[in-house]
Amino acid sequence: MHSFSSGCPSVEQASTLGGMLPLEKKIKQEKRTEPRKVILLSGPTACGKTELSLILAKILGGEIVSADSVQVYQGMDIGTSKVSQEDQLLVAHHLIDIRDIQEGFNVVDFYFEAKQSLDSILARDRVPIVVGGSGFYLRTLLYGPPSGPPSVREIREQLEEEYERIGAEAMYAKLQDLDPDYAHSITANDRQKVVRALEIITLTGGKVSENLWKREVPIPDYDFHAWFIYKPKELLYPEIEARCESMLEAGFVDEVRALEKRGLRNNSRASQAIGYRQCLNFLETSQNEEEYQKFTAAFKKATRALAKRQFTWFRKEPLFHWLDVAAHDLETAAEMIAHEYYSVL
């Protein structure tokens, strides 16, 4: 883990890092000697990833690939803080609104579709910027889909029998308890994946989402430049709560009602997304003021817990530079990332 949280330059100083030319002139004159470079930009929810990625894309001539597990779904807009249509017209985005709410999308789908997007962007001599807070998705892009130990017939048969006895939802709930990150990447209807994940957990005692990448170095297809932007929790948590309030004011409950009519509850992964799960639970109540307050409290608590898990996950990821965006503005952060992109051979 690399930290860039102190001693940060001003905008003027950042513009001359790595050479005498201002950044904009340097980018225009410098030939890209490594066209396979890919920027990964992650961080906890509500830390400013979207705004920073837009600034960075404009500086570098980049296009953005979403690594968000639910922004792929049409209509899941407010609760995912999906980038606006106006910003999508200014900067090309990929893997947003590519699935109907009734369609499946898992980490393997993400891996292959993200690679296809990266190759397309690189072929047009643009800079790919992968943006998202899902450590599991980003780790899969870095190291390839996780693998596991050989299947053991006796254990597999026991799990298959249990699946038949208690049903898909109960088995999926069991996986959620044992490995919520992996469970969030698949659906309850993915019987083979659910059973296989529980088999791996039984055999190894570890989580599928953390322990099952055989590779010790990233896949050789790309030169990854990985960043984790953050704010201290005492600053981030109030912003998380404010963003939850903003989502509610923007019509989040109505969004969930509309998605429910389109089949949100049938998509066991999308319906478990932060905010959506709590809102669906609220819609099953009398929806009075007391229930609404319980819902908003649960929504904020779950979002804070997500941010805490994101901090924990990325502390274990050695490739990511950590950048405190509370120590300086996003424009300066973007300048620093851009200079690192051009200066590292």
More confident residue, 66 or 6: 66
What is the secondary structure of 250-273 as a DSSP string? TTHHHHHHHHHHHTGGG-TTGGGS
Task: Give the C-alpha separation, 168 to 145, whole Å.
Answer: 23
Give the span between the Cα atoms of 152 and 147, in whole angstroms: 15
Domains in the chain, ordered, with CATH?
2-146+213-343 (3.40.50.300), 153-211 (1.10.20.140)
- Cβ-based neighbour number of residue 284 at 10 Å: 8
* pLDDT over threshold 70, residue 302: yes
Residue-wise pLDDT for 19-45, tens only, equals 333 444 444 444 444 548 999 999 999
**What was the pLDDT predicted at 308?**
93
Token pair 């919520």 in the structure block, residue: 180
The b/e string for 2-21 (b: 16+ C-beta within 10 A; e otherwise) is: eebeeebeeeeebbebbeee
Examine the pLDDT at 98 and tell me if it is beyond 90.
Answer: yes
Percentage above 90 pLDDT, the chain: 62
> What pTM value is reported for the model?
0.78
How far, in Å, CA of 106 to CA of 268, rounded?
12
Give dist(CA 21, CA 343) in Å, integer: 13
Pairwise CA distance, residues 112 & 119, whole Å: 11
Confidence class of residue 74 from pLDDT cuts 50, 70 and 90? very high
pLDDT, residue 12, reads 36
The mean per-residue pLDDT over the stretch 251-271 comes to 94
For residue 96, the one-letter residue type is: I
* Direct distance between the N- and C-terminal alpha carbons of the chain, in angstroms, rounded to an integer: 19
Distance CA 335, CA 58 (A): 11
- 116-172 pLDDT per residue, tens: 999 999 999 999 999 999 988 999 999 888 777 778 888 888 999 999 999 988 999
